Copies of this chain bind each other. A is one copy, B any other.
Amino acid sequence: MWKSLKRALVGDPISSEQAQHERLSKKTALAVFSSDALSSVAYSTEAILLVLLAAGSVAIGYLVPIVVGITILLAILTLSYRQTIHAYPSGGGAYIVAKDNLGTQPGLVAGSALLVDYILTVAVSVSAGVAAITSATQGTRLDFLHEHRVALCILIVVLIALINLRGVRESGAIFAGPTYLFILSMLALVVVGFVRYYATGEVMPTPPAGAVAHDPSVGPLGPGALTGGALVWLLMRAFAAGCTALTGVEAISNGIPAFKRPESKNAAGTLTWMAVVMTTLILGTGFLAYKLNAHPSSSGEETLVSLMARHTFGTGVFYYFVQAATAAILVLAANTSFADFPRLASLLAADRFLPRQFANRGDRLVFSNGIVILAVLAVVLIIIFKGQEQAMLPLYAVGVFLSFTLSQSGMVVHWLRERNREENRARIIRQEAEESIHRTVDPSAATHARERLRALERDRGGNWLTATLVNGAGACITFVVLVVITVTKFTHGAWAVIVLIPLLVVMFRAINGHYRLVAAQLRLDGVSPSRPRMHHRIIVPVSGIHRGVLPALDYARSLSANGGHEITAVYVEINPENTEEVRRQWETWGGGVHLKVLHSPFRSITSPLINFISEESCRHGDSITTIVLPEFVPRAWWQQLLHNQTALLLKGKLLFARNVVVTSVPHHLRR
């Protein structure tokens, strides 16, 4: 039953040979990998405004410079990551780049930062998607949805997980539509919004004073009154809040192997397109929000996008279209993580830093265990934060920018190494050429060697220097942003991530240490291929004389009779009145096997048995003691509860005994 349910939900198994077909075209890849990055527009502008407006309505004036700053950061990141994509065509996630170039420890830090980030992506995106829905339904008959937002979030996470368990190409097909609809609807919002603004000059109504929570730490209302330090602090916090717009930029560089061939070229092109679209949307919504003097509510009842769309289109078909597209892309943004989290977990598992179950592809060719774990952890986060995405944002950007920094630094080291390798090669060529010039008698060979030398001089220096500078700049800037985010958001929740990342690294190390120890213990060094035969002793615990015991007794006797092994049946006496009867029946049914009766003053069945078995196996240390255990197998699971779990307890305890082997002989109940 479980099996057919699984097939209905997940689909039929896919064989390993079909693997190559599950690749993404550029258009589908843009939908699959950029939904996370694009969709952040739906909450990042709101996050900036909430910080600014807490200092007073006039602080909205800082929105535009901050938005422009964020798009500059995006441009630098895009250039950086294009280089990564070309240098790591098999997938250049921060984990791989940092591990290859900076060492295992930074690699693990990047890896744990990314894992945390992916979980947050799911939780934040789904919560924001539900917020888009409940913004649209407020005041209508569906108003009750707001109360059940947590349940709604969980339902959506489960649905996404199921779709991903079906496999990556199918999910691509499902997700292409909404991503393009979102881009379209946001462009329409920006264009129509500006046209309407310049035509009518109408701005949005400001909520009554007091409706917006005023943050007393930033001083009096009006940014003009802010002192230098407080102003810098305000701008830093607003910028840090806006940086959540950049989460997801790295998604493509992690997922290169999912692209059609040529993978790197397709991935780089997709990344550029994504950056162009993102820049347009970030600038467009930012400017529009500034011009319309938008004041999102800090209570989270209606999102900024919803407010602007309502103002621009009125509460009609177009408004609902914007909300639906926003909800759809946000909900689907979570899908990026469902592609990346399992992939990263499988890399970590292949390097033995996570349980190896994460490296197994399920029968639909996806890393099923990673998908399930991600869904579970995201649901936990959603429950903790009651599905409020703005409350989760402070935890969000820390991991992203930590992995950005490590990845860019790794690329700098990568280029410096490339240069060394190139220079070594150049030195060898030069030596060869110079030697051939000096030694040769053939002038054409000398001319050829001189040309090679000149070409070498021309080529060198250019490529690696640009690359190093681009990635170096990226590393520096993302590091500065990381510090800003950490400092400004530390008390709002970022501390949790700062604590969690080292803990995860410690866990990775512990798991790795265990696997190394096991591998060392399993090596065959020093073992002789020809080993002495074992001698056996057999013990059959019996609970009485009935049909359930006979198969085990027969089995033990057939083992023993052929090899002449010693065999003992053991009966634990709880009630002495029954013992005589058991002994008498044993005469008939025991088949000549010796019956040993154990006393149990404290009425336990397992303890006397365990003691007897350990004594026997100690006394005969050179032989293997086989416990032949009669076991009931009832027809229904609930019936299992009705029988004493003695066999289960015995097996659990005997697992740790030396030189003891347990054999279960089932007796199947027919009814």
Which residues of A approach B to under 8 Å, CB–CB?
Answer: 13-17, 355-357, 360-363, 511, 514-515, 517-518, 521-524, 527, 529-531, 533-536, 545-548, 550, 554-555, 557-559, 561-564, 588-589, 591, 601-604, 624, 626, 631-634, 639, 641-644, 651, 655-656, 658, 660-666, 668-671
Contacts of A651 on B, CB cut-off 8 Å?
A: 664
CA distance A536 to B523 in the complex (A): 32
Q: How many copies of this chain?
A: 2
Inter-subunit contact A547/B521 (CB<8 Å): yes
Contacts of A666 on B, CB cut-off 8 Å?
A: 655, 660-661
- 25 A-B residue pairings within 8 Å (CB atoms): A15-B601, A15-B602, A355-B642, A361-B603, A362-B603, A363-B604, A514-B642, A518-B632, A518-B669, A522-B547, A522-B548, A524-B546, A524-B547, A524-B589, A527-B547, A529-B589, A535-B558, A536-B559, A558-B563, A563-B563, A626-B663, A651-B664, A661-B663, A662-B664, A663-B664
| A658, closest chain B residue (CB) | B668
| A656, closest chain B residue (CB) | B633
From residue A527, how far is it (CB to closest CB) to chain B in Å? 7
Contact partner of A644 (CB less than 8 A), chosen from B356, B536, B662, is B356
Inter-subunit contact B536/A524 (CB<8 Å): no
Contacts of A591 on B, CB cut-off 8 Å?
A: 529-530
Inter-subunit contact A661/B664 (CB<8 Å): yes
| A626, closest chain B residue (CB) | B663
Inter-subunit contact A550/B521 (CB<8 Å): no
CA distance A292 to B311 in the complex (A): 68
CA distance A203 to B546 in the complex (A): 75
Inter-subunit contact B545/A524 (CB<8 Å): yes
Contact partner of A558 (CB less than 8 A), chosen from B15, B534, B589, is B534
Inter-subunit contact B661/A16 (CB<8 Å): no
CA distance A661 to B661 in the complex (A): 13
From residue A297, how far is it (CB to closest CB) to chain B in Å? 32
Inter-subunit contact B670/A521 (CB<8 Å): yes
Given that A356-B642, A601-B15 are known contacts, is A534 also in contact with B554, CB under 8 Å in the complex?
Answer: yes
Contacts of A511 on B, CB cut-off 8 Å?
A: 642
| A548, closest chain B residue (CB) | B522
Contacts of A17 on B, CB cut-off 8 Å?
A: 601
Inter-subunit contact A633/B661 (CB<8 Å): no
Given that A588-B529, A663-B661 are known contacts, is A601 also in contact with B16, CB under 8 Å in the complex?
Answer: yes
Contact partner of A523 (CB less than 8 A), chosen from B361, B547, B661, is B547
| A563, closest chain B residue (CB) | B562
CA distance A670 to B639 in the complex (A): 38
Contacts of A14 on B, CB cut-off 8 Å?
A: 602
From residue A11, how far is it (CB to closest CB) to chain B in Å? 12
**Residue among A548, A602, A631, A639 with the most chain B CB within 10 A?**
A602
| A670, closest chain B residue (CB) | B521
CA distance A527 to B591 in the complex (A): 13
From residue A471, how far is it (CB to closest CB) to chain B in Å? 35
CA distance A559 to B565 in the complex (A): 10
Contacts of A668 on B, CB cut-off 8 Å?
A: 656, 658
Contacts of A535 on B, CB cut-off 8 Å?
A: 558
A355-B642, A663-B664 known, 19 other contacts, Cβ within 8 Å:
A13-B602, A17-B601, A360-B644, A362-B603, A363-B603, A363-B604, A515-B642, A517-B669, A518-B632, A522-B546, A524-B546, A529-B588, A531-B554, A533-B557, A533-B558, A533-B561, A555-B624, A558-B563, A661-B665
CA distance A564 to B665 in the complex (A): 21
| A657, closest chain B residue (CB) | B666
Contacts of A518 on B, CB cut-off 8 Å?
A: 632, 634, 669
CA distance A346 to B358 in the complex (A): 47
Contacts of A562 on B, CB cut-off 8 Å?
A: 562-564
CA distance A651 to B663 in the complex (A): 11
Inter-subunit contact B602/A357 (CB<8 Å): no
| A530, closest chain B residue (CB) | B591
Inter-subunit contact A523/B550 (CB<8 Å): no
**Residue among A361, A362, A559 with the most chain B CB within 10 A?**
A559
CA distance A535 to B561 in the complex (A): 12
From residue A354, how far is it (CB to closest CB) to chain B in Å? 9
| A365, closest chain B residue (CB) | B603
Given that A527-B547, A662-B663, A668-B658 are known contacts, is A514 also in contact with B639, CB under 8 Å in the complex?
Answer: yes
Contacts of A626 on B, CB cut-off 8 Å?
A: 663
Q: What are the 10 closest A-B residue pairs judged by CB atoms, nearest first?
A: A562-B563, A522-B546, A15-B601, A13-B602, A663-B663, A534-B558, A363-B602, A522-B547, A355-B642, A517-B671
Contacts of A536 on B, CB cut-off 8 Å?
A: 558-559
CA distance A15 to B414 in the complex (A): 73
Inter-subunit contact B655/A633 (CB<8 Å): yes
| A362, closest chain B residue (CB) | B603
CA distance A663 to B624 in the complex (A): 13
Contacts of A661 on B, CB cut-off 8 Å?
A: 555, 663-666
| A520, closest chain B residue (CB) | B671
CA distance A604 to B591 in the complex (A): 43
Contacts of A521 on B, CB cut-off 8 Å?
A: 547, 669-671
Contacts of A665 on B, CB cut-off 8 Å?
A: 661
CA distance A536 to B527 in the complex (A): 29
| A532, closest chain B residue (CB) | B554
CA distance A588 to B530 in the complex (A): 9
Contacts of A670 on B, CB cut-off 8 Å?
A: 521
CA distance A518 to B671 in the complex (A): 8
Contacts of A360 on B, CB cut-off 8 Å?
A: 603, 644
CA distance A641 to B557 in the complex (A): 37
Inter-subunit contact B663/A16 (CB<8 Å): no
| A641, closest chain B residue (CB) | B355
Inter-subunit contact B527/A550 (CB<8 Å): yes
| A550, closest chain B residue (CB) | B527
CA distance A515 to B634 in the complex (A): 11
Contacts of A361 on B, CB cut-off 8 Å?
A: 603
From residue A510, how far is it (CB to closest CB) to chain B in Å? 9
Contacts of A664 on B, CB cut-off 8 Å?
A: 651, 655, 661-663
| A518, closest chain B residue (CB) | B669
From residue A663, how far is it (CB to closest CB) to chain B in Å? 4
| A661, closest chain B residue (CB) | B665
CA distance A658 to B633 in the complex (A): 11
From residue A23, how far is it (CB to closest CB) to chain B in Å? 19
